[in-house]
Amino acid sequence: MSLHRQLVLLITGLLLVLLAGICYLSVYNSRTYLEMQMHTHAQDTATSLGLSAAKALADDDLALVQTMVDAIFDRGDFQDITIRNPQGEVVVSRHAEPPPHLAPEWFVGWLKINPMEGISEMSHGWRRVGELRIQSDKNRAIRNLWLATKQAVTLFLAVGLISWVVILVIVRAILKPLRELEKQAEAICHKDFTGQQPLPKTREIKRVVQAINRMTRQLKILFDEQVAQIEQVRNQAYVDSVTGLGNGRFFNAQLEARMDSIEEPFSGVLVRLQVKGLGEYNEHYGHESGNLLLRRVGAAWRESLQDVEGHCVARVAGARFAALLPHLSQEAAEQRIQATLKKIQELDALNLGGVTVQLFAGMSHCVPGQDAKLLEAQASAALERAFSFRSGHLECYSETAHGDALAPAVPGISNWATYLRDVIDRRKVVLHYQPVMSCVDQTLMHYEVLARIAVEGKLITAGHFIPLVERFSMVVDFDKMVIGQLIEQLKTQTKGNRVPLAMNLSSHSIRSEGFDDWLLETLQANRDIAPYLIFEVPELTVRTAHGKLRRLATGFKDVGAKLTIDHFGTTNSSFGYLSGLPLYSIKVDNSYIRDIERNLDHQFFVQSLVRIAHSRQILLTAEMVEGAEQWNLLRRFQLDGAQGFYLGQPQAGKVAA
């Protein structure tokens, strides 16, 4: 039971006891006072009437005595007046029958008013002529006391209720810092190191809050140091120290991972950029100036290509740079690279004091299924050929003369835009499900949903047609269609047979206007289904649409849906965003998994991620687990889950627990 509830119950109990005690004392004291008043009144009346009627009684004038008794009885609050002679015989008597009680019987029985009689010895001269007894009317006293009691209880209840409300407000205000402390403790568990401000006014609670704030700051410092150390190690392994871009190891890992991906095979262009004359430049101006030139070239290289979704830029070696630009046609890539070369050539440091630094670029176009080494060889050959021209020349290894270079060569489709629109409108997508297995107990965690489309009886994976869906601006409709199908599928299953399903959301959809509102409204309308949906977004989305992603993550949490960061580690973004997003899990990119059994840097990176993720109560999973050695290693590293062909191939059809 909470402290607030305990205090409320205690205060309520004290008020009730106080009310009951005050009411009891008030009624009891009133009863005692009335008894005394009625006895005094009866005794005074008996004394007065006894003196007045003694002579008439001695003269045996009973008519006069009766008249005097009637006069007193009729105007007094008396129940009985009796005069007896010395022999004890009743001479005169008046008695009033008590009316029905206006007060409840329990009140009459509890009150027990019994006033004493007024007694007077009647004497004339020295002779005793009789005895007078007067009994006051207690019924009127009971009625008056009942009315007074009701008024007192009503007043006490009103005052007590007002006091109770005031005290509750005061208690709530006093305990508010404690509730904030509870929230702060929960936030610390999720590695949100925000201090409590402003400080409470109560001195004792203020000291506790100050101590918690100091502890929060220290924990934040420790965590930031841990993250900084891990990022430093990652940077040493994968980041070029001069330009801040990815190095050759990072670029080669990205290239091989993307080219080898079965679900998302790479399509786009590979570009190599060579800065010639850097050696002569260093001889004239020194290595520091040479490094400054490389930094400026690298910054221009990155800034010009950063709006290409899924891009990867690096300084691979010496004065050679490289870039992977997915989902771009050869013509679009040529225009972008030409503009980039022109921007770099405008740098002041590129032509100083007669020392000429030249730029050359070679580009090769990739289609799904192409070999990574072949793609690199084509780009290198194109770069060598570019050296034969003047500075700023871009050489393409080959040009496509037939149709859209992005479209897979599939017989029977002449217009991909029309075909894909028909697929979306008629919901002709084929869903496959790949299991994600727990590394802890090897049980099923959830299924990842993979989209396929059928062309001439052959299923094509998402990596072949999703770039076209994005290019034709159909990605929002496609994502909505898949979400709708998953919700309908889960509705057809009984609650006990439902299993969570994970699907990929495109960065284009998240950035598009109105998609976040539609998705949250859809989940609100299906609150019983929402806890079984997991939405995976690329890590790049955190940087390009952080505001909308944060809103979606908060909305997901309210309805029970979950958010996962996919392809984690493909950008050089800081780990800091992990504390700002309510995430369910992060999925390590396959470039760190494919050779983890023999790459110590990848092992260290994954182990560091395990510590960071688990410290924030975030699950860590891996993709593309293709062998027992990888699986056993990930289990030893205490990852939470993994998926891959070794653990289960994608299967068509509905799934159940």
Judge if 428 and 331 occupy the same domain.
no
Sign of CA dihedral 326, 332, 335, 339: negative
Judge whether residue 471 has pLDDT over 70.
yes
Residue 408 lies in a domain: no
3-class DSSP assignment, residue 147 = helix
Structural domain range at position 476:
416-652
Does residue 447 lie in a domain region? yes
Tell me, yes or no, whether 256 and 372 share the same domain. Answer: yes
Q: Is residue 70 included in any domain, yes or no?
A: yes
Mean pLDDT within 287-297: 87
Least confident of 1-15, 57-71, 281-295, 619-633: 1-15
Three-state DSSP class for residue 533:
strand
Q: Write the pLDDT tens digit of every residue in 230-287.
A: 666 666 667 888 888 888 878 887 887 777 666 667 788 999 999 988 888 888 888 8
Check whether 477 has a pLDDT greater than 60. yes
Name the 3-class secondary structure at 203.
Answer: helix
Segment (H or E) for 54: helix 3-58
**For residue 185, pLDDT beyond 80:** no
- Quick one: 224 and 268 in the same domain? no
pLDDT band at 406 (very low <50, low <70, confident <90, very high): very low
With a pLDDT cut of 70, the percent of the chain lying above it is: 85
- Among 201, 218, 238, the domain-final residue is 238
Q: Is residue 95 classed as helix, strand or coil in its secondary structure?
A: strand
Q: Is residue 229 located within the same domain as residue 256?
A: no
Band of residue 404 on the pLDDT scale cut at 50, 70, 90: very low
CA distance 260 to 370: 9
Q: Are residues 588 and 439 in the same domain?
A: yes
Domain-located, residue 168: no
Cβ(66)–Cβ(92) below 8 Å = yes
Radius of gyration for the chain, computed over Cα atoms and rounded to the nearest angstrom: 47
Q: Is residue 178 part of a domain?
A: no
**pLDDT band, residue 289 (cuts 50/70/90):** confident
| Residue 433, beta-bridge partner list | 449, 651
Which of 238, 266, 298 is the last residue in one of the domains? 238
Higher pLDDT, 555 or 70: 555
Q: Find the mean pLDDT for residues 639-650.
A: 92
302-358 per-position pLDDT tens digit: 888 888 888 889 998 888 999 998 888 888 888 999 999 888 888 876 665 456 788
Q: In terms of domains, do 319 and 428 share one?
A: no
Please provide the average confidence, as pLDDT, over all residues in the chain. 82
Pair 212, 261 in one domain: no
Number of domains in the chain: 4
Last residue of a domain, one of 330, 365, 396: 396
> 334, 339, 327: which is closest to 397 by C-alpha?
334
- Res. 526: pLDDT tops 90: yes
Highest mean pLDDT (candidates 66-70, 213-217, 225-229, 629-633): 629-633
Average pLDDT over residues 444-469: 85
**Does 179 reside within a domain?**
no
Q: What is the CATH number of the domain that holds 276?
A: 3.30.70.270
What confidence category does residue 641 fall into, taking pLDDT thresholds of 50, 70 and 90? very high
CB-CB contact of 563 with 552 (8 Å): yes
229 or 162: which leads in pLDDT: 162
Query: What average pLDDT does range 85-101 have in this prediction?
Result: 79
Rounded Cα distance between 607 and 635, Å, is 11
| pLDDT at residue number 235 | 66
Work out the average pLDDT over 517-532.
93
In the sheet that holds 312-317, the strands lie side by side as: 312-317, 320-326, 268-276, 358-366, 393-396
pLDDT at 507 over 90: no
Give yes or no for a contact between 335 and 410, defined as CB atoms under 8 angstroms apart: no
Higher-confidence position of 345 and 519: 519
Most confident of 17-31, 196-210, 383-397: 383-397
User: Domain holding 139: CATH number?
Assistant: 3.30.450.20
In a domain, 166, yes or no: no
Provide the pLDDT for residue 123: 85
The mean pLDDT of 155-179, rounded to a whole number, is 78
